[in-house]
Amino acid sequence: MKILVVDDEELLVKGIRFNLQNEGYDVISGCNGLEAVELAKAQKPDLIILDVMMPEMDGLTACQQIREFSNVPIILLTAKADDMDKLMGFDYGADDYITKPFNILELKARIRALHRRAQSGSAPSNNTLTIGTISLDLDGRNAYKNGVMVDLTAKEFDVVEFLMRNANRVYSREALLDTIWAYEYRSDIRTVDVHIRRLREKLEENPAEPSYIMTKWGVGYYFRK
């Protein structure tokens, strides 16, 4: 597994590289957002660890640009604990975030969790889940709308898979956090709202008037079958 680590703190990058290489990962590194985008294109890593505050180009912009050509899982590193900064990260296409300073064991756990969920293929397998015009290739972890593949982040796929497996059942934001983000510390419930909005933008014909990913006002969300 190849991991790209990008941060302008040289000692932090060295520490992450040392620990991940000891786990058997192939680690490449950069020091700013421009390098992050270039290395993501050239090296095609399996996962990216990306700092938010960097010179040349910030991590959020780099994440957004990487999302234009890759669905690779991205973990953001941020020195800010503000919930809005974290939500912006999800909005720009990140799959996860860790606030500095962090425990390297936590980082390793999140890498393993994202990697398990991010194995992808190029075509639908026989193990599919279909409701209406939306299909999920469960082995390849690809989503299709009207037969055309749609790029979802690892977390977006987890959310829609869970809702489709339990179609017509309403789940509160708290329940979705406990299920989808179970390995993390409790996040802000707005994290769920951001992922639902992005899923509607990608999978619904009219995100403003969804046909599948529905809201039960005052309760939560469900996938209509």
Instruction: Flag the least confident range among 116-120, 145-149, 187-191.
Output: 116-120
Q: What is the rounded average pLDDT of the residues 37-45?
A: 95
Instruction: Flag the least confident range among 9-13, 182-186, 196-200, 221-225.
Output: 182-186
In the chain, % of residues over pLDDT 70 = 90
Q: Is 28 helix (H, G, I), strand (E, B) or coil?
A: strand
The residues spanned by each domain of the chain are 2-117, 128-223
Q: In the structure encoding, which two tokens stand for residue 171, read together?
A: 């789940």
For 134-156, write each residue's pLDDT tens digit.
999 887 788 999 988 898 888 89
CATH class of the domain whose range is 128-223:
mainly alpha
In angstroms, rounded to a whole number, what is the distance separating the alpha carbons of residues 113 and 181?
Answer: 10
| Buried-state track 141-179, b at ≥16 Cβ within 10 A, e below 16 | bbbbeeeebbbbbbbbbbbbbebbeeeeeebebeebbee
CATH class of the domain whose range is 2-117:
alpha beta
Query: CA geometry: angle at 224 spanning 116 and 195, to 5°?
Result: 45
